[in-house]
């Protein structure tokens, strides 16, 4: 099954905009559409997993810890942490590569850090 992405509230909107400009068919839901602002990391992970979406976030400080906690009791659709120092163009290239070369099943309970 094709990967569907969910942006965390902290994700740079330029990444989403750039991806959709290059590949409009990607299903990349914004945090605003999912009403994620103000929710806890565990709540965000739950919403992404309920919708079978890989969560994309900049939050390398707390999200990995909550991800580990989450997958100890539930199944996650996956988590991608885009390091803040990553150029927007590099993040776009990496996410497009992930979308083109993997399936959603490959990301179950998996965490990855960009850039690759």
Work out how many domains the chain is built from and give that number.
1
pLDDT computed for residue 116 by the predictor: 83
Task: Give the pTM.
Answer: 0.95
Question: What CATH number does the domain containing 19 carry?
Answer: 3.40.50
* Distance, CA of 28 to CA of 82 (rounded, Å): 15
Average pLDDT, the chain: 96
pLDDT computed for residue 90 by the predictor: 98
Cβ neighbours for 12, distance < 8 A, ≥ 6 positions apart: 58, 82, 88, 91
Cβ neighbours for 97, distance < 8 A, ≥ 6 positions apart: 116
Q: What are phi and psi of 105, to 5 degrees?
A: -65, -25
pLDDT computed for residue 37 by the predictor: 87
What is the DSSP annotation of 4-33?
Answer: -EEE-TTS-HHHHHHHHHH-TT--EE-HHH
pLDDT one-digit tens code per residue, 11-62: 999 999 999 999 999 999 999 888 898 999 999 999 999 999 999 999 999 9
Q: Whole domain around residue 103: which residue ranges?
A: 5-114
């Amino acid at each position: 099954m094709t990967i569907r992405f969910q942006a965390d509230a902290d994700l740079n909107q330029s990444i989403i905009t750039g991806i959709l400009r290059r590949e409009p068919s990607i299903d990349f839901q914004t945090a605003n559409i999912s009403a994620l602002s103000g929710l806890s990391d565990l709540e965000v992970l739950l919403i992404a997993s309920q919708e079978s979406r890989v969560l994309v976030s900049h939050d390398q400080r707390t999200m990995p810890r909550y991800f580990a906690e989450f997958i100890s009791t539930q199944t996650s659709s996956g988590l991608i942490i885009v390091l803040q120092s990553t150029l927007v163009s590099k993040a776009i290239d990496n996410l497009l590569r992930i979308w083109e070369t993997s399936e959603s099943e490959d990301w179950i309970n998996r965490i990855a850090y960009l850039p690759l």
